[in-house]
Structure 1
C-alpha cells in the first residue's frame, strides 16, 4: 500500500512539473489518503501483535 502512495506522489510531482495543476492536486490528495490508511493499518497491526504476545519474525 505504501508503494501505491509513493506512485501517486510521483505522478503528482511529474504532473506539477508539466503544469497540470488539477491532476497534480488530485494525485497528491489520493497519495495522502492512501498513506494515512497505511499508517492506521500499520498501527493496528503492531497493536494486535503486541496483544498476542508474539514478537516480529517469530
Structure 2
C-alpha cells in the first residue's frame, strides 16, 4: 500500500509542479506524458532512498 501511495503522491506533486512551471514560463503547453514519466522516476527514486535508510531504532548510550 505504501508503494501505491508513493506513486499517487509523486504523480500529483510532479503534475502540480509541471503546471506551475509551464504557467510561469510564458503560457507554454503542458507536457503530460513528460510529467507522468518524471513522476514514475521520482517515485522509484523515493522508494530506493527509503529502502537504503535503516529502520532500526538508534540505541541510547548513556554516558555517566
Larger fraction in helix: 1
Same fold (TM over 0.5): no
Q: What TM bracket, shorter-length normalisation?
A: 0.3 to 0.5
TM-score, length basis structure 1? 0.44
Larger radius of gyration between Structure 1 and Structure 2: 2
Greater relative contact order structure (CA < 8 Å, 6+ sep): 2
